[in-house]
Amino acid sequence: MGLKLLTRNTRNVAPTEAGEQLIATLRPAFDDIDARLSALSALRERPAGTVRITSSRHAAETILWPSVGSLLKNYPEVTVEISVDSYLTDIIADRFDAGVRLGEQVARDMIAVRIGPELRMAVVGAPSYFENHGRPRTPHDLTRHPCINIRMATKGGLYTWEFGQGGRDLNVRVEGPLILNDVPMILNASVEGIGLACVMEDQADDLLKTGKLLRVLEDWCPPFSGYHLYYPDRRQLPPAFKLLVDALRYRG
């Protein structure tokens, strides 16, 4: 071009008038390049990838979904797979990144992060049931009441109803005409007056509010450790997994 763009002396180098004009002309292009490079860097730093979690249905519905649903809207590069089952899955053998279970069920060699409040059990029955059978006053009275048993997926046996009062724990093996492994069916059977049921407090909440079920032995049902996210010890958590842990962490 034959134009001198820089002027040089013994102390510094500075653009000439032609150089200043060239810089002014190219500055928008440089700014655009810089913005695009920043966008690419931010995209590279945004969490991405798939996180696999195994969880019970109750935990998935009440704890996981509210947080995961919000997270996925803000981080479209993250994929979360939730496998719902009631078994104590071996997350390492089955290649899950984490599991969600009650605190008492988490193995000691796992890192556990609390993700929900304490829980309580509730013993419930239909008004018609209590009219016919009366109300149990203590857990011992349950041995004289027809109850709806729960088949446990984790061990295959029947759930032993657990109570506590004043630091004293009490377990009761109940009997009755029906054994189920599905909470909605258990509640439906209890509403029909088949027998007493023992479920999570929040699972019976709507039926208690409408009066279709009534609660007994409430003072024998203390709170217990709620749901925890558990996973093997790792020195470095993948960004997508760390994001999920932070989103689920209980701050109540």
Band (pLDDT 50/70/90 cuts) for residue 123 is: very high
pLDDT for residue 171 is more than 80: yes
Instruction: Locate the DSSP E strands across the chain.
Output: 6-8, 13-15, 49-55, 78-84, 98-102, 111-114, 121-125, 146-150, 161-165, 168-172, 175-180, 197-200, 214-216, 227-231
5-14, 36-45, 92-101, 202-211: which range is least confident on average? 36-45
pLDDT for residue 119 is more than 50: yes
What pLDDT, on a 0 to 100 scale, did the predictor assign at position 47?
78
Band (pLDDT 50/70/90 cuts) for residue 249 is: very high
Rounded CA gap, 216 and 26, in Å?
79
What pLDDT, on a 0 to 100 scale, did the predictor assign at position 155?
66
pLDDT: which is higher, 31 or 208: 208
pLDDT: which is higher, 70 or 163: 163
35-44, 74-83, 127-136: which range is least confident on average? 35-44
**CB burial readout 9-31, b (16+ within 10 A) else e:** eeeeeeeeeeeeeeeeeeeeeee
Angle at 134 between CA 131 and CA 136, to 5 degrees: 145
What pLDDT, on a 0 to 100 scale, did the predictor assign at position 105?
74
Contact 213, 187 (CB under 8 A): yes
What pLDDT, on a 0 to 100 scale, did the predictor assign at position 238?
85
Contact 147, 197 (CB under 8 A): yes
pLDDT: which is higher, 3 or 47: 47
pLDDT for residue 15 is more than 70: no
What pLDDT, on a 0 to 100 scale, did the predictor assign at position 102?
87
pLDDT for residue 35 is more than 70: no
Band (pLDDT 50/70/90 cuts) for residue 69 is: confident
- The number of residues in the chain equals 252
Q: What is the pLDDT of residues 107-118, one digit of tens each?
A: 788 899 999 999
Residue 171 CA, distance from chain mean position:
28
pLDDT: which is higher, 104 or 129: 129
- The answer to whether the Cα torsion of 92, 96, 97, 100 is positive or negative is negative
55-64, 114-123, 212-221, 228-237: which range is least confident on average? 228-237
Rounded CA gap, 188 and 20, in Å?
81
Rounded CA gap, 152 and 86, in Å?
8
The whole-number average pLDDT for the span 133-137 is 96
The whole-number average pLDDT for the span 25-42 is 57
Instruction: Please report which helix (H) or strand (E) contains residue 71, including its range.
Output: helix 65-74
In this structure, the dihedral spanned by the alpha carbons of residues 188, 194, 200 and 204, taken in order and rounded to 10 degrees, is 50
pLDDT for residue 78 is more than 60: yes
